[in-house]
Amino acid sequence: MKIGVLGSGTMGISIGHFTTIKDHQTIIYDSSKNALKSGEKKLSDLLKKLKNKGKYSKEDIKRITSNLTFTDDIKKLKDSELIIEAIIEDINIKKEIFSKIEKLVDNKCIITSNTSSLSIASLASSLKENKRFIGMHFFNPANLMPLVEIIPAIQTSQETLDRSKNILVEMGKVVVIAKDTPGFIVNRVARPFYGEAIRIYEEGIANIETIDWATKEIGGFRMGPFELMDFIGNDINYMVTETVFKEFYFDSRYKPSFTQKRLMEAGYLGKKSGKGFYDYNTEEIKNINKNRELGKKIVFRILSMLINEASDALFLKIASKEDIDLAMTKGVNYPKGLLAWADEIGIDNVLETLENLYNTYKEDRYRPSPILRKMCSENSNFY
């Protein structure tokens, strides 16, 4: 296929890396010459590293480099059969580029956006022929992370949805379909992993080291929430939470925390700035409380909140139960799908934890999803 990628930043480069290793001719366009240069350099450094490590053969490198071109001339994208937009997260700038690209490409070309937080319906409205527009949300880095969330807008045709899905599946991606709602599946369902962990820390129930230890050691997660927030960047992670919160008309379930906001304001962004929840410049002495009872309580509280979010996404038909579980295991590496996990630990136990939290705090954020109550009364499971 001939693929046009808009944007030569973090995502544009990793998407281009992915499509070219899959042998598709790809042109990456960016309006900034500097961004193109720096993107090209970053990719070439990465390819060298992967070759030295023995992960890529000479042929792999050749396939990528011979299929990939960089340009600041948008007209070069006119023969594209698929456009994947990954420019700055600004609705007006995105809309402007979509109306430009629509005039250039053939009317069979599928036009997609990799936006994390904008409405697909709103972006689609920038096109005259908007039934060929769809959300294609890759995960960072797109060349490694198997998941892509596909988000049809209300304007998208079934043909566009089917073709988009086939293209990605043929390229070996794991595809899930999500409703055009804030955070789609992953960025919505994952919020309590961060939010509830911060809340536990703010209340003084445990320190960050203990919470991270418990989620990994007892919960089986690859990274603890604080390590992960530092890894993602507290600026980015905070902004995603704030966007989801605002987009859900200030539902308290997604309320951001002052703890993380202050870190962001102070420039304590995490690994990339040398300091975040953790200090990466000193050999910190980790003060972990390895009391397993406490650890289990922490994990069960965070997990129950995650399951509640996944259940509510199912209740509101954001995606199928299979897709919700796939999204969390393939998009953010959770050890198990949350709904399958709920079956394993017992829906009644999850509901009891949520009801206890709700009764203790009387905060709406702890309200259990109606589907959990219904399932409990029917004694049923997700699977």
Ligand X SMILES: NC(=O)c1ccc[n+]([C@@H]2O[C@H](COP(=O)([O-])OP(=O)(O)OC[C@H]3O[C@@H](n4cnc5c(N)ncnc54)[C@H](O)[C@@H]3O)[C@@H](O)[C@H]2O)c1
Please, what's the b/e burial string for 91-112 (b: 16 or more CB within 10 A of its CB; e: otherwise)? Answer: eeebbebbeebbebbeeebbbb
Q: Binding ligand X by CB under 6 A: which of 2, 10, 50, 171?
A: 10
CB of 103 to ligand X, least distance (A): 15
Instruction: Answer whether 76's CB lies under 8 Å from 29's CB.
Output: yes
Using CB under 6 A as the criterion, what x/- string covers residues 119-138 for binding ligand X?
Answer: -------------------x
CA 331/CA 325 separation, integer angstroms: 10
Who's near 25: CB < 8 A, 6+ residues apart? 1, 2, 3, 67
CA 160/CA 110 separation, integer angstroms: 7
CB of 86 to ligand X, least distance (A): 4
CA 3/CA 170 separation, integer angstroms: 14
Q: Is residue 89 a contact point for ligand X (CB under 6 A)?
A: yes
Q: Binding ligand X by CB under 6 A: which of 23, 48, 49, 93?
A: 93
CB of 123 to ligand X, least distance (A): 10
Whether residue 117 lies in the annotated active site = no
CB nearer to ligand X: pick between 32 and 259: 32
Whether residue 149 lies in the annotated active site = yes
Q: Binding ligand X by CB under 6 A: which of 122, 140, 329, 349?
A: 140
How far CA 89 is from CA of 7, 82, 236, in Å, comes to: 11, 20, 12
Q: Is residue 143 a contact point for ligand X (CB under 6 A)?
A: no
- How many residues touch ligand X under the rule CB under 6 A: the total is 22
CB of 380 to ligand X, least distance (A): 35
Instruction: Answer whether 148's CB lies under 8 Å from 136's CB.
Output: yes
Whether residue 137 lies in the annotated active site = yes
Number of other residues whose CB lies within 10 A of the CB of residue 383 = 12
Q: Is residue 8 a contact point for ligand X (CB under 6 A)?
A: yes
Q: Is residue 31 a contact point for ligand X (CB under 6 A)?
A: yes
CB nearer to ligand X: pick between 150 and 206: 150
Which residue, 162, 160, 188, is CA-closest to 175?
162
Instruction: Answer whether 310's CB lies under 8 Å from 187's CB.
Output: no
In the numeric block, which tokens belong to residue 211? 């919470």
CB nearer to ligand X: pick between 42 and 373: 42
Q: Is residue 333 a contact point for ligand X (CB under 6 A)?
A: no
Q: Binding ligand X by CB under 6 A: which of 2, 9, 91, 376?
A: 9
Q: Which of these ranges, 103-111, 112-120, 189-197, 260-268, lies near ligand X under the rule CB under 6 A? A: 112-120
Q: Is residue 144 a contact point for ligand X (CB under 6 A)?
A: no
CB nearer to ligand X: pick between 32 and 207: 32
Catalytic residue among 187, 237, 311, 369: 187
In the numeric block, which tokens belong to residue 46? 């990465």
Catalytic residue among 137, 196, 234, 308: 137
In the numeric block, which tokens belong to residue 1? 């296929």
How far CA 93 is from CA of 36, 46, 82, 129, 288, in Å, comes to: 18, 29, 20, 19, 46
Q: Is residue 112 a contact point for ligand X (CB under 6 A)?
A: no
CA 105/CA 122 separation, integer angstroms: 20
Catalytic residue among 8, 80, 114, 116: 116
Q: Binding ligand X by CB under 6 A: which of 12, 192, 224, 225?
A: 12
Q: Is residue 97 a contact point for ligand X (CB under 6 A)?
A: yes
Helix (H) or strand (E) holding 303: helix 292-315
Applying CB under 6 A, which residues contact ligand X?
6-12, 30-32, 35, 86-89, 93, 97, 114-116, 138, 140
Catalytic positions, written as ranges: 116, 137, 149, 187
